[in-house]
């Protein structure tokens, strides 16, 4: 798939200047754990990790990496690929992987659509997208990552029966995501009762964005969608 939005789904990439150690880790260590979609697509995405990895999950926009690192520590048999274009967030993740010696994390610092297009079909066991930029102004809605084209990208890479998980504290983006996923033939919303979307998933560590939302009086919603077999994106 080559249909790319002529812009970006993320905001600024550079914030405060990095500290000297962060710069060294970005320059010297990140290349050893980075995913490079300019290389040939592997037949099995697990080959990016060691032989102990049995599944691969993707987190699109990991922010400060709290959730990504927590999941990686708790699940050494799962390989986690984290995407985050914002330099400060990437620097935090790189430092955590380096200092803790985590072997089951790989990172990518650019547009997630390029990575999804590069991945082999039916290679992911799960996808997280947590508290993404809601682009609240109507004129910016085209920059929201959730749309029919990107959902098809996720569906192509996600194994049938596995889940795409989305969290947000912005009601309009929750409604937007529900509408787009329910319109898409590859996804089915799994909620059967209010608890299923009001409470986070098992082992949830929270994120700084969630804590900020709670302080400001907003409530997070946690949506789970199952990848269906539809015949359109199974190729």
Q: Tell me the catalytic residues.
A: 133
The sign of the CA dihedral 151, 153, 155, 159 is negative
Which helix (H) or strand (E) segment is 188 a member of? Answer: strand 187-189
Strands 187-189, 158-168: pairing kind: unpaired
C-alpha closest to that of 92 among 68, 111, 115: 68
DSSP state of 220: -
Give the separation between CA 214 and CA 40, rounded to whole angstroms: 43
């Amino acid at each position: 798939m080559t249909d790319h939005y002529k812009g970006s789904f993320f905001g600024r990439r550079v914030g405060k200047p990095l500290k000297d150690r962060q710069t060294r880790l970005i320059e010297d260590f990140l290349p050893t754990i980075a995913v490079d979609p300019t290389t040939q697509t592997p037949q099995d995405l697990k080959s990016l990790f060691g032989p102990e990895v049995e599944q691969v999950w993707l987190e699109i926009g990991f922010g400060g990496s709290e959730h990504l690192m927590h999941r990686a520590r708790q699940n050494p048999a799962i390989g986690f690929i984290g995407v985050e274009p914002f330099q400060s967030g990437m620097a935090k993740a790189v430092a955590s992987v380096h200092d803790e010696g985590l072997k089951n994390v790989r990172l990518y610092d650019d547009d997630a659509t390029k990575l999804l297009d590069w991945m082999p079909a039916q290679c992911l066991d799960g996808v997280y997208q947590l508290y993404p930029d809601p682009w609240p102004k109507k004129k910016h809605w085209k920059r929201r990552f959730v749309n029919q084209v990107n959902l098809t990208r996720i569906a192509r890479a996600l194994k049938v029966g596995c889940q795409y998980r989305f969290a947000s504290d912005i009601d309009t983006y929750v409604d937007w995501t529900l509408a787009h996923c329910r319109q898409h033939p590859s996804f089915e919303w799994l909620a059967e009762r209010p608890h299923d979307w009001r409470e986070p998933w098992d082992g949830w560590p929270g994120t700084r964005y969630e804590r900020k939302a709670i302080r400001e009086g907003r409530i997070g919603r946690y949506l789970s969608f199952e990848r269906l077999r539809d015949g359109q994106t199974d190729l």
